[in-house]
Chain A
Amino acid sequence: MSKPLEILLLDDEVIVGKRLKPALGKIGCAVEVFQDSALAIKRMQEKEFDIVVTDIYMDGVDGMQVLDLVRKKSPRTKIIMITGHAMISLAREAMEKGAFDFIAKPFKPDDLKAVIARAAKALGAPIQFDDKKVGG
C-alpha cells in the first residue's frame, strides 16, 4: 500500500461524514468531509481526489452539478452518488453522466466500502476490503 486513497465526501447531513470518515479511514482511505457543496468544489479545484462521494439534493450546487464538474475536471476520478431520493430516472441520469455508482440511502457502511473497493480496483490501486459481508 503506497499512498492512501484520497476521498472527498460531500453530504449536507453532518452525521454521514462523522460516521463514514473513520469507517473509510480503517480501509486505508484519507477522507475529507464537506457539508457545503461550494466549499467542496473549491477544495476540488485545489486537489484531485481519487474518489468523490456526493449526495444529490443539497442547497446551492447539487450533486448532479458536482458530478458534471468533476467529470470535466478530472476524468479519472470515480464518483459515487448517494441519495435518499433514489428514483429510476435519477439513477439512469447519474450513470449516463458518468457516475461510477449510485447508492440509495439508507445504506450500510460496508455497502459503500465495497463500492469504494471496486472503484479502487478500477483505479488500479486496489485496497484491502473483505467483501464477504456485503449483501448479508
Chain B
Amino acid sequence: MPGPHPPISKIKKDDNGSRQAGQFDHGSHLSKDGKTFFFFRHFSIRDQIYLGTILVFFFALVMILILILNNNRVQKQMKFLGFVNDFSLEIQQARRYEKNYFLYGTNLDDALENIHMAESIFIKESEEFSKLLGGKQALQKIPDKILAYKTLLEQLYLLETKGKNRLSIKSFSKEDELKLRGFGRDILTSAQLMAAFEKANLEKTLFRFQYIYVYSFLILLVFLAINSYLLVIRLYSTFKQITIHAKRVSSGDFRPIILRQKVRDEFTGLLTSINDMLKKLDLRDAVMIQDHKIKAVGTLTAGVAHEINNPLNNIMLTVHMLLEDYNDLSKEEKIEMLGDIAAETDRSKKIIRNLLDFARESASTMESVDLSILLKDTLRLLESQIRLSGVQVDLRCAKKIPKIHGDAQKLQQVFINLLLNAMDASIKGDKIQVTGSLGDKANSVKVSVADHGEGIPKDLLPFVFDPFFTTKSKGKGTGLGLSVSQGIIAKHGGNITVESREGRGACFTLSFPIINFPENSIFSS
C-alpha cells in the first residue's frame, strides 16, 4: 500500500526533528495522535443522531403550531360566517315584516325588533365586519344604511301609533316607502356579499391546510433522508478506512492508524484503543524481529568463525615462512609477503566488519538504500554458509535500480532469511538465482530469490508466512523467518509473495515502492 504516508506528516510536527523517527520508531507518534485528536471539535455519532431527532421534533412542533393556528382561523371564520348568516336572516326577516306592513299594515313592530337585532349583531362583530368590508369608510356604509332604514321604520311606527289609523299612513309618502325598501335591499345584498366573501375565505384556508400537510410531510421526509445519508456516509467512510488499515495490519504493518477525521467521535476512542493495541503488537513484533536476528547472527557467526580461518591461515603461513627464511629471501620476496599479510588482514577485517554491521544493535534508521550493494554485502556475509552448502548463488542486478527508502539492516535480515531458506531447501550443486530489477508496477523495485530445491507443497503454501510454521527439525528452524520478513517488508510499504512447485523449487519475490524524496525533504512531502 504505497499511498500517502500518514506517519511522516505527523513526524513533521515533532519539534526535535529526529530523522530516525521512521516507521520502526515505536510509540512516539501514538501519543502525538492522541493529542491531535483533542484539537478537533467533538461531534460524535450519538450527537448527530440526537441533533437529528431534536430537529425533527422541533419541525413537528412548528408544524403542529401552524396547523393549530390555521384551525383557529377556520373556527373563527365559521363562527363569523354564522354571524353574517344571522345578520342577513334578521335583515331578511325585517324586510319581510316591513313588506307585510305595507301590504296588510301588520308586523311593523316585529320588523323593528328584527332590525334592532341585526344592528346589535353588527355592532358586536363590527371589527370583523369592517375587516371584511375593507376599511372604516366601508364600515360606515352598512350602519348608515341600517340607521337610515331603522329611522324610516321608526318614523313609520311613530306615525302609526299617533294616527292610530291607516289613513295617516298615507302621509308616509310613496317615495319614502321606496326609499325604505331600497335601503333594506342594499343591506341584504351587502350581507350576502359578505357571506359569499367569507365563504371563499374559508375555502382558501381549508385549501391551505392541504398544502401545509403535504409540504411539511415532504420536508420531513427530505430532512430524514439527508440526515441518514450523512450518518451512513460518515459510518461507511470510517469503516472503509478502518478496513483498509486492518488489512495493512494483518500483513504485518503496525504503524498506527490515522483516520482523516475532522471531528472527535466514538471512532476516536476506538482508534485510540486500536492504536494502543498496535503499539503493543509492534513492540512484540520488534522483539520477535530481534529474537530472530539474534538467531541469524548466531548462524552467521558460526560461519564467519570458520570463514576467517582462511585469511588467518594465509597470514600464519606467510609469517612463519618469513620468520624461517628471513635471511634467504630477497627484498622483493619479503615485500610481496608483507603485502600478502596486509591484504589478508584486510580481508579478515572485512569479513568481521560485515558481520558486525549486521549484528550491531542500532536504532532503526530509514535511509536511502542501494539494493544492489546491499545484496552484494549480504552474499559476502553468507559466504561461509554458501560454501558449506555447496550451492551456487548467482546475483543479477539490473543496471540501475533506483534506491529505496528503508532500514538497511532489517532489509538485510530479510535477504539473509530468504537465502538461508533457499539453501536449506537446495542440495549441493543447486543454483540459487537472486535478481534485482524494476518492478512491474511503476515506481517499484523487485527483488527475487529463486531456488531449485525441494519446493513447497501446495497445501502448505498458505502457511509459510505464519509465525512458528516450520517443516524443519526442532533445533534448526523456528518458523519465524518468513513471518518476521513479511513484517519488515510491510513496514517498508512493500509486499512479499511466493510461488512454488513441489520438487521444482520456490521463488520469493519482494517488491518495494520507490519513494523518491530528495535528501532532507522527507518530511515536507
Contact = CB atoms under 8 A, between A and B. Distances in A.
B318 A15 contact: yes
A15 B320 CA distance: 13
B325 A22 contact: yes
Contacts of B321: 19, 22-23, 109
Interface in B1-44: none
B171 to A, nearest CB: 158
A13 B324 contact: no
A13 B518 CA distance: 44
A41 to B, nearest CB: 16
Interface string A82-93: 001110000000
Contacts of A84: 306-310, 312-313
Contacts of A59: 392
Contacts, number: 63
A109 B320 contact: yes
Interface in A78-129: 84-86, 104-110
Contacts of B392: 59
Interface stretch (B275-283, B382-390, B444-452, B469-477): B382-390
Interface residues of B: mostly helix, strand, loop or mixed? helix
A105 B313 contact: yes
| Contact-size category for B | 20 to 34
B110 interface: no
| Contact-size category for A | 20 to 34
B316 A106 contact: yes
A85 B388 CA distance: 8
B367 interface: no
Nearest to B306: A85
B340 A15 contact: yes
B189 interface: no
Contact of A106 (B309, B325, B340): B309
Contacts of A105: 309-310, 312-313
A73 B315 CA distance: 34
A23 B371 CA distance: 45
B188 to A, nearest CB: 132
Given A22-B321, A23-B321, A106 B315 contact: yes
Contacts of A18: 340
Interface in B270-321: 306-310, 312-318, 320-321
Q: Across chains A and B, which 9 residue pairs bring their CB atoms closest together, nearest first?
A: A84-B309, A105-B313, A106-B313, A15-B314, A19-B317, A106-B316, A106-B312, A85-B306, A105-B309
Given A84-B310, A105-B313, 16 more contacts: A13-B314, A15-B314, A15-B317, A19-B314, A22-B321, A22-B325, A23-B324, A84-B313, A85-B306, A86-B306, A106-B312, A106-B313, A107-B317, A108-B316, A109-B320, A110-B320
Interface of A: 13, 15-16, 18-20, 22-23, 57, 59, 62, 84-86, 104-110
